[in-house]
Amino acid sequence: MRTKLFLAFMFIILLAVLSNIVFERLIIEDFNDFISGTEEDHIYWIMATVEGSFKNGQWDRQVLGEALHWSMMLGLEAYVEDMSGARMLSSTEVHDGMDPNMMERMHSLLKLPSGIGEFTWYPLYVKGEEIGRLYIRPLERLGLMPLREEIFKKRGREFLLISFLIAGGGALFLSVLFTIFLSNPIRRLTRSAEKIAEGDFSVPGPRAHKKLKDEIDRLTDSFNFMAEALRREDSLRKHLTSNIAHELRTPLTVIKGNLEAVEDGIISDPNIVIKNISSEIDRLISLVEGIEDITRAEASFFRKGKLEEVNLKELIEGIAEGMKKIIEGKGLYLKIDGIAMSVETYPEKIHIILKNLLTNACKFTDAGGITIVWGKRPLETGEGFYISVEDTGKGIEESDLSKIFDRFYKGENSGGKGLGLAIVKELAEVIGGKVEVESILNKGTRFTINFYPK
């Protein structure tokens, strides 16, 4: 990645150099064109003046002299011939007749007119009739004039060099920035991926907290989700396997013990054996069902179900209605207490959570009853809600409070599998809730789930 970025920026710098060279060529060419363009303008101007010196079929030597004088000042040597080929006037003659001051000035700028060299001729016209020819050639310039042009060209080159340095420096700076912002998060991702590949799921992935997420942030999010999924899967596999082995051992040992007792003649009544074995098999079946339930709850991390806008009061009333028969059948009351409010949640999951909490409350309460309370819970992060299930039952020992959510943990006389609360906790967390428990021994227990806004 870094090498590719580096190569890409080198390529940009190379392009900048090339464009600089082409640009420089073009500018110098344009400048030369400009110089020769002005030279042409000068020639036309001299031609017009020379033509102006021909009046009424006669050359005005005074005006002609001035025209050739000016042509010399512009760096051009010239002479004029009439139609018969006779030389009317030349720069050499004009030069010889100049006053000494002017002559000196000219000597500092130009090589003197000699009449020798390659002249170009131009036809001269007056009123459409050819009157003669103007012969012209550039004089070699001395001193300051060519120097100025050189200075201009040098300046041009310096300017291009500076612009190249700025562009090249900018490209280099950008390449460093890109490397930091682009390749660093990817390097972190790669490192985390390598850790996971080695079987270490404990390392948290790189964080992408930004609100405005770019592709890399989204990639990081997906990676973190995947890493979390793998971590859960791994811990589920480890825990479940050891828990299941442990849970299976008890009924299987009892079955084996019963069969051995028959073999050894210790138990002679086959009905007792059949009853014992059958009840252990029931335990095994319910254990398998429980494992299915908890696996489903774990899997809901991947399949949350449908997020719906629901009326919480109606949802809870519906769930309570389903449990009413069992609760009231035990001689307990079931109260619900909350306002009508609309929440965004996963009703299916809420259903399973409440059913488990109500079943527990009913199972561990002998007198009094159960109350379901719910309401809004304003939080710093926004508006959340809570649901709690209270009972007037036997309560939980303080030392047990930390264990009740563990898989397969069950209290005395539970008769269950010890999976209900593990499922409640798992599902609540999957849909963004957190379970709390408060309990006073022999007075009652309250389970509260706080749902935080997304």
Ligand X SMILES: Nc1ncnc2c1ncn2[C@@H]1O[C@H](COP(=O)(O)OP(=O)(O)OP(=O)(O)O)[C@@H](O)[C@H]1O
- Tell me which residues touch ligand X (CB under 6 A): 290, 360-361, 364, 391, 393-396, 404, 409-411, 414, 416-422, 445
> How far apart are alpha carbons 153 and 161 in whole angstroms?
12
Q: Which residue of 132, 205, 420, 433 would you call a contact of Mg ion, by CB under 5 A?
A: 420
When the beta carbons of 231 and 410 are compared against ligand X, the nearer one is 410
> How far apart are alpha carbons 442 and 440 in whole angstroms?
6
Torsion of CA 217, 222, 223, 225, to 10 degrees: 130
Query: What DSSP designation does 141 have?
Result: B
Q: How far is CA 176 from CA 127, 165, 358, 424, in A?
A: 73, 16, 61, 50
Contacts 24+ apart (CB under 8 A), 22-30: 23/160, 24/156, 24/157, 24/160, 27/156, 27/160, 28/153, 28/156
When the beta carbons of 24 and 406 are compared against ligand X, the nearer one is 406
Residue 335 CB, shortest distance to Mg ion, in Å, is 21
Residue 429 CB, shortest distance to Mg ion, in Å, is 18
When the beta carbons of 195 and 355 are compared against Mg ion, the nearer one is 355
Residue 131 three-state SS? strand
Residue 389 CB, shortest distance to Mg ion, in Å, is 12
Residue 418, interface with Mg ion (CB under 5 A)?
A: no
Q: Which does 409 bind (CB under 5 to 8 A by kind): Mg ion, ligand X, none?
A: ligand X
Total residues in contact with Mg ion, by rule CB under 5 A:
3
When the beta carbons of 110 and 419 are compared against ligand X, the nearer one is 419
Q: How far is CA 150 from CA 26, 87, 92, 238, 395, in A?
A: 16, 37, 29, 83, 101
Residue 360, interface with Mg ion (CB under 5 A)?
A: yes
Q: Which does 362 bind (CB under 5 to 8 A by kind): Mg ion, ligand X, none?
A: none
When the beta carbons of 67 and 435 are compared against ligand X, the nearer one is 435
Residue 365, interface with Mg ion (CB under 5 A)?
A: no
Of 224, 237, 231, the residue nearest 199 (C-alpha) = 231
When the beta carbons of 391 and 426 are compared against ligand X, the nearer one is 391
Residue 445, interface with Mg ion (CB under 5 A)?
A: no
Residue 286 CB, shortest distance to ligand X, in Å, is 8
> How far apart are alpha carbons 358 and 372 in whole angstroms?
9
Q: Which does 394 bind (CB under 5 to 8 A by kind): Mg ion, ligand X, none?
A: ligand X
Show the tokens assigned to 179.
Answer: 């490397």
- Of 127-135, 203-211, 306-314, 413-421, which part binds Mg ion (CB under 5 A)? 413-421
Q: How far is CA 272 from CA 109, 152, 276, in A?
A: 135, 117, 6
Determine the residue with CB nearest Mg ion.
420
- Of 29-37, 65-73, 104-112, 357-365, which part binds Mg ion (CB under 5 A)? 357-365
- Of 158-166, 258-266, 354-362, 400-408, which part binds Mg ion (CB under 5 A)? 354-362
Of 46, 63, 60, the residue nearest 136 (C-alpha) = 46
Look up tokens 């010239």; give the residue: 78
Pair 424, 356: CB distance under 8 Å: yes
Residue 422 CB, shortest distance to Mg ion, in Å, is 9
Residue numbers at the binding site for Mg ion (CB under 5 A): 360, 416, 420
